[in-house]
Amino acid sequence: MKNIDQIIKTLTLDEKVSLLSGFNSWYTNKIEKKNIPSIKMSDGPNGVRGDSNSGKSSACFPCAISIGSTWDLSLIKDIGIALGEEAQAKDVDVLLGPTINIHRHPLGGRHFESFSEDPFLTGKIATNYVQGVQSKNVAACLKHFVGNDTEYERHSISSNIDAQTLREIYLLPFEMGIKEGNAKVVMSAYNKLNNIFCSSHQDLLIKILKEEWGFDGYVVSDWGAALETIENANGGLDLEMPGPSNVWGKALIDAVRISEVSEKLIDDKVKRILTVAEFSNRFQKPEIKAEQAIDQPKHRLLLRKAAADGMVLLKNEGSLPLKKNIKKLAVIGPNALEAQIIGGGSASLRPHYQIHPLEAVQERLGHEAEILYSKGCHTHKYLPKINEELMEEKDGFLVEYFDGNQFDKNLILEEHLTGSKFWVFEGFAKDVLSNEKRPNISVKFSCKYKPDISGLHEFEIFGIGKCRLLIDGNELIDNWTSMDPGEAFFTFGSASKKGVINLQKGETYKIEVQYNFEGNFPAVYIGCQTPDEVDIFQEALETASNADEVILIVGTNSDWETEGNDRADFNLPANQNKLIEAILEANQNTIVVINTGSPIHMPWEKKAKAIIQTWFAGQEFGNALVDILSGEVNPSGKLPTSFPVKIEDTPAYKHYPGKDLQMNYEEKLLVGHRWYEANSIKPLFCFGHGLSYTSFNYKNLEVATGSDFVVTCKFEIQNTGDISGLEIAQCYVGPASPIPGEPCKTLQGFIKEEIGAHELKKVEIKLGPRNFSFWSVETNAWQIREGSYQILIGSSSENILLQANINLEQALEVR
């Protein structure tokens, strides 16, 4: 074990401060002569991407809301262990996850990236996730601390939250992750909390996190969130990322020398960072190793199980599991051939492989039935990539980098790149940017393109910087002389501009995109939509009419649900609702599969016989879906978030995302299911809802209060069906007499049990003092009110099946 205090004594002030800012996007600075190594950090929430420039693939895990839907703490710990093993393969010290912000509003851009609307469920998941990751000596990073619940103006908006709501809703998962999970790193959010930047919030980072909760790790800024030198330092931030330093470095050294920041505080920051380096064994392995892409069979099995267990059967009127005698099975929808397995932004990565629904259905069910397919409609927010198979050279665009403003002089290098989105965080221009002497770069993308269909082709370009698109030397799109702000590339990109041109099949055209960037964050998008050979909407209807049963797979993609911007609409993109209505009319034996990361409007819900919510289920999506459809796996997922009938029903609707950069949390404690019950608003599907292919009966609740205020709830669950199933029993606690402004009941316990066919199983849920407590602003502590409390056991927040009351004869302060 290193004597970190002794190491710090040997460091100069300049050396200490150098350790408090990153070296680049993912590494901290090192001091070789003092044997202090770099710490390596990596996104992300549903897989370990590693260094973006390595190009190595990674295991793609189900997104957080999918993991939240499992309600399976043992499985979640196994997922954490697997993430730790993935981090080891990428030589990563700190995994930047889990994201444990609350589902405050269903249009939040990172809704898919957080576990739940419920703070208790989120905290339990976070604790087990962290314990799993850190069992491999990889530090887990809880983010984003705190109130980062919208992507709208996230760098400057203030989340205004009263003290009781802050403690009971938004801080609770972090408190559990620190106290129970012992998380080693916390990431401060971009936003302000009550008009103080979270990276400068002394009450939040020092008084609560470090002093009250005993957090001994380091606080890292979200990337680019450190904006203030002295305020960040005195407010509790420990590490500024990314590097090189923006607000610390020399400015922080000067602040220490004039006593605006104490050197003792600098020492504490250094100690915290080096403590994490010691935890990850980086002192014993200081050399950064090459990243590896290890596709482990055991991870494949785990991710397939997690994906299936996270899928929620919302509705089933006897359509599922699929019958064995189907002769023609149609797979229809924009997410059938290529589903969305991952959300956008820091969650993205390059997966080892992807199993999509149509492929899995054909492989598993194709020997029993004829499989029909039709896309039905396009749902892109940005146009798809140009088909490289139609380029004269099949290896993508020729990309030429020039020093200066001209596209034919001072060539630096050239390479071939495929795809549509080219930006620095995915390796674009990495070799050019490594040369610090090149401040102004012009880039030319070019290819010879031979269409395989005649008609109107629509092209699209936008980026961080000026760009234009030419066909055979003639400008088609000008996003150069005039640019509007856009949503893409974390809102730093220009707005999309499009152009249409008539191209002929078999003719060769030269496509050229000219792009100029200044600075270190190049990004450009190039898209093209070709004409359809047939009317794909009408084709889908005919396909559905000719099938015995239909699997209709609709959803979003990582452009619609992403870090950087919130969704603008509660509806499915494009004309998917119209497609669903038409397919349900054409074939009543239709199973609607929803491939989104958040709730959506379902105006067709009453017409559908079966609905499955799959979320973004990771690399094993297709296999897991067929496991559920075929009945090989009995669905057991339950919603970790409420599905409203309409967006106007949601708790924050009237004050989201705020006004004049002020976002007031006026719903206060009534978040999610608490709101719907308190306001007698019936959601479309309630929190905790999820069906099975079997059925369960609850009975014989016994509640006993023991010493130290431990309440034991014992009851029985019987599987009344003919197949084994997993059931999630939920325990809610509420005051017998309603308290104005407070929820009727709150989730305080749950258990997931496998119960065999016709088996009767005795289960037990234990509650402690904190499960009955509230945050008192008068005493600044957790307290229990005297009086009568209801213990409510059920299969969802609405379906309460057992009830008992207990009396607390005196008020109690909880330590």
List all residues 6 or more positions away from 5 whose beta carbon is below 8 Å from its beta carbon: 271
Strands (E) located in 619-710 = 662-664, 696-705
Q: Give me 322's structure tokens.
A: 């699929």
| CA distances (Å), origin 16, targets 206, 220, 268, 393, 680 | 20, 16, 10, 52, 57
Could you tell me whether strands 370-374 and 397-403 are parallel, antiparallel, or unpaired per DSSP bridges? unpaired
- The whole-angstrom separation of Cα 631 and Cα 337 is 22
Strands (E) located in 324-375 = 328-332, 370-374
Residue holding tokens 């999820």? 690
Short-list 314, 291, 347, CA closest to 612? 314
Q: Give me 107's structure tokens.
A: 């249009």
Residue 722: Cβ-neighbour burial (10 angstroms; 0-12, 13-18, 19+): exposed
DSSP sequence for 289-309: PPP-----HHHHHHHHHHHHH
Residues facing 331 on adjacent strands? 373, 551
- The whole-angstrom separation of Cα 699 and Cα 714 is 10
Residues facing 391 on adjacent strands? 449
Residues labelled as active-site residues:
222
Hey, what amino acid is at 356?
H
CA angle in degrees (0–180, nearest 5) for 572-575-578: 100
Residue 163 DSSP SS3: helix
The dihedral through the CA atoms of 608, 610, 615, 617 has a sign that is: negative
Helix, strand, coil abundance in the chain, percent, nearest 5: 25, 30, 45
Judge whether 190 and 144 are in contact, CB under 8 Å. yes
Residue 310: Cβ-neighbour burial (10 angstroms; 0-12, 13-18, 19+): buried
Residue 360 DSSP SS3: helix
Short-list 771, 621, 663, 637, CA closest to 708? 771
Short-list 46, 141, 132, CA closest to 85? 132
- The whole-angstrom separation of Cα 520 and Cα 123 is 37
Instruction: Please give the order of strands across the beta sheet that includes 774-776.
Output: 774-776, 781-784, 812-814
Length of the chain: 815
Alpha helices (H) in 371-455, listed in sequence order:
430-433
List all residues 6 or more positions away from 507 whose beta carbon is below 8 Å from its beta carbon: 450, 451
